[in-house]
Amino acid sequence: MLKNQKLLEQLTLKEKALLMAGQGEWQTRAIKGKVKSIFLSDGPFGLRKQSGAGDHLGLNGSEPATCFPSSATLANSWDQEVGREVGRALGKEAQRLKVDQVLGPALNVKRNPRGGRSFEYYSEDPYLAGKMAAGMIQGLQENGTIATPKHLAVNSQETRRMASNSVVDERALREIYLTNFEIAVKEGQPKSIMSSYNEINGTYANEAKWLLTDTLRKDWGFAGYVVTDWGGDNDHVSGIKAGSNLAMPGLGVNAAEEVVKAVESGELSEAVLDQRVDELLTVILHAGQKPADDGFSWEKQHAVARDAAKKSLVLLKNQDQVLPLAAGTKVALVGDFAKTPRYQGAGSSLINSHDLESLLDTAKDYPIDLVGYARGCLRQGEIKSDLLEEAKALADKCDVYVANVGLDESAESEGLDRTNLAIPPCQAKLLEELAATGKPVVVVLSGGAAIELPWENKVSAILHEYLGGEAGPSAVWEVLTGKYNPSGRLAESYPLTEADIPFDNEFPEIKRNAYYKESIFVGYRYYETAGVKVKYPFGYGLSYTTFAYSNLTIDDQGVSLDVSNTGKVAGRETVQLYIGKKDSPLIRAKRELKGWTQVDLDAGETKRVAIPFDEYAFRYFDPNLGSWQEEKGRYQIMLGQNVDEILLTGEYDLKRGIVPEVKETSSYQKYREGKLLMVTDRDFEEIYGAKLPENRPAGKRELEWNDPLLEMANAKSWLGRAAAKWLARKIQESLDKSKPDLNFLFNYNMPFRAMTKMLGDTISRSMAEDILLIVNGHFWRGSGRLIRDYFQNNRKEKNDKDVQQ
């Protein structure tokens, strides 16, 4: 018996089909007198409620809202409670803005820091990402708001974002790209989840039954509904069969008719459709928000944003204890960002911030003597000597420079992968010039993902604020002045150079099939195993005090140890548990994060802390057996301040489990030793366990329904090629102006089929097929059909007006 059986009996087949897609940009479909509609809104770190024209790229304006730190920032707090608090605050905001469902948090694993949306994702480590997302989901849903963790799964690049096939081996798939979602679902119990745009091993995520039904619902116990990413629906009926409940944005009546036909022809059983509608209705009809006990106030929201930012700041360097700044220190503030902060990313997560601070405005609230401000350089672009001189001239007046630099808005954005890891050269030059004055330079670094720091040895201190949200600046002053002792730890590795990132030269993949050749060796799993030095390791972050660990005990439940504050001020330590298994025949990272705990300690204080072994501690996915297993035997247990600084080690014998059987070939051996530099496509093929799908050779060819528009560069018709050139030119023009045009970028990476998915019934499937015909060199045939289908579609649209409302 279905949960909403009675209501289902009252719905016609067409009504049930209509419910499987939205209504307009942000709402689910209402059925008059029977089913209400709910409102969905981005996003992960602030509400982007559009009251005017809706779009999914952050192009049009939205209601003012509190801008919290981005997920990449929050992850550095390693504090689930911080995520919970931000989630709660988001829930309040959702209620204020009459938003029922929030499209977030985003928790994809950062496969390569150059992924354009890295600022929106938590970590390179699935365990940390899953835990942090779970906290946010719990907080968000406390008042009844529906959370939507996204994008399930293996969605790692923006290039070809809707037309990319992630080719990934089973172990990496389960251990790296799904474990984050598993933890988020099991611990957060989200009422919804968003499927990703990409294919996984040849099947669209939204059509993968093994993922949406077998793994998500059956294995993880998900009891919510699955929504597509915007325009991410490929074959509507296949999506429904696989376990997808709602295609967004609204698809119009044509799509519902496809579903009706599929039921009538027996392709889709009505029982399956009923099941999908039931899953959706269970959430929509039973959702309801309750007001927070302490009500809503902008001040309180802002304070939550500040607290989260403060706990997420990471002190990377502090030479000669230049920080904290003593009261009365003469500070020269420098940098474009100090006045116009870089505090959030671009795209669907863009927030119209309610109360944006700047370092310059908030300096007066802290016990320093601000002796001047100079822009120093533009955020990007040419070096201007007059701006440089103005900044250098402050050296005579100040004890220390505080320079705010980092990635500018065009460097990282939804729709666009980063071209390198550097900050703009004009900013690097500014730092060098300031350092040359002889005054200590304290860098406040802004940016949502790993940055190359070749200038690091020239400056005295680096405080990384990532993207701190609207209250980031005052949080920065709190740390700079010692009001708060920094406690953030990096949630990703900082490689010495971009070239050290595994298979960086193949990222982003510009052809359809992206081979995830590094397998499980993402981030620190690679650097540690292969012995590649990094600038700052995963888990790294300094404090104004120091800590020591002692008295480690290990039993079947987990580990316990004493943590002491050996310095002169109170502080917070994040004790990290890593586990490895030296003698394993399996491909394994040298060590993996399996738990952590945080402890607040006064100067001189010692506390005993415990970190339990949980269900993830010893498991690995066995592709031969097709299931999770544990390997019996001896493990190395490591407690550290970061992945590279292990302070205590011990051993643990796992009595249960199996002895895995492996075939040690030369390909296997390369992986086992982490020698990724030697790994070829053929080696990966062996790990993948099947023939790798081949990318089509370059050159003119027939384009297909699921080819992105950028492939028109290879079209048979000159018209198609001209259109591709025009699109590429428009994108380049916007990049030259340092303002990436998300609209053009979206279209460039969008497949032909998506035309029918983004605009309701405006473009029918036949019309999109006609356009494809034209692009493929059949101008007259295609144009003739396009005119016919246009009028036919128009007539039909009018007939369907009653249901479209």
> Where on the chain is the footprint of ligand BGC (CB under 6 A)?
42, 56, 103, 150, 229-230, 348
| Cβ closest to ligand BGC, residue 58 vs residue 488 | 58
Active-site residue, selected from the candidate residues 100, 125, 169, 229: 229
**8 Å CB contact between 171 and 520:** yes
Ordered alpha helix ranges (H), 315-374: 336-339, 359-362
- For the bound state, the minimum distance from the C-beta of residue 229 to ligand BGC, rounded and expressed in Å, comes to 5
- For the bound state, the minimum distance from the C-beta of residue 121 to ligand BGC, rounded and expressed in Å, comes to 11
- For the bound state, the minimum distance from the C-beta of residue 19 to ligand BGC, rounded and expressed in Å, comes to 19
Q: Would strands 101-102 and 146-147 be described as parallel, antiparallel, or unpaired? A: parallel
- Contact partners, residue 480, CB within 8 Å, separation at least 6: 323, 324, 325, 366, 368, 402, 442, 444, 463
Amino acid (one-letter) located at 219:
D
Q: How far is it, in rounded angstroms, from Cα 155 to Cα 111?
A: 9
DSSP structure string for 645-668? EEEEEEEEEE-SSB-------HHH
Q: How far is it, in rounded angstroms, from Cα 129 to Cα 113?
A: 15
**8 Å CB contact between 245 and 226:** yes
Number of residues that this document lists for the chain: 805
User: How far does the chain reach from its first CA to its final CA, in angstroms?
Assistant: 32
- For the bound state, the minimum distance from the C-beta of residue 194 to ligand BGC, rounded and expressed in Å, comes to 7
| Cβ closest to ligand BGC, residue 60 vs residue 627 | 60
- For the bound state, the minimum distance from the C-beta of residue 266 to ligand BGC, rounded and expressed in Å, comes to 34
Q: Is the backbone of residue 295 left (phi > 0), alpha (psi -120 to 50) or beta? A: left
- β-partners of residue 628 are 621
Amino acid (one-letter) located at 582:
K
Could you tell me which of 334, 340, 344, 323 has the C-alpha nearest to residue 462? Answer: 323
Judged on CB neighbours under 10 Å (0-12, 13-18, 19+), 371 is middle
Amino acid (one-letter) located at 90:
L
| Cβ closest to ligand BGC, residue 415 vs residue 580 | 415
> What is the Cα Rg of the chain in Å?
27
- For the bound state, the minimum distance from the C-beta of residue 135 to ligand BGC, rounded and expressed in Å, comes to 20
| Cβ closest to ligand BGC, residue 449 vs residue 532 | 449
Q: CB 805: neighbour CB atoms within 10 A? A: 10
| Cβ closest to ligand BGC, residue 345 vs residue 473 | 345
Residue nearest to ligand BGC (CB): 56
- For the bound state, the minimum distance from the C-beta of residue 397 to ligand BGC, rounded and expressed in Å, comes to 46
- For the bound state, the minimum distance from the C-beta of residue 202 to ligand BGC, rounded and expressed in Å, comes to 21
229 part of the active site = yes
| Cβ closest to ligand BGC, residue 289 vs residue 349 | 349
| Cβ closest to ligand BGC, residue 353 vs residue 487 | 353
- For the bound state, the minimum distance from the C-beta of residue 42 to ligand BGC, rounded and expressed in Å, comes to 5
Six token digits for residue 386: 């007059």
Q: How far is it, in rounded angstroms, from Cα 203 to Cα 198?
A: 8
Q: How far is it, in rounded angstroms, from Cα 109 to Cα 122?
A: 7
| Cβ closest to ligand BGC, residue 246 vs residue 316 | 246
DSSP structure string for 325-340? PPTT-EEEEE-HHHHS
**8 Å CB contact between 33 and 26:** no
| Cβ closest to ligand BGC, residue 150 vs residue 581 | 150
**8 Å CB contact between 126 and 621:** no
User: Which positions are annotated as active-site residues?
Assistant: 229
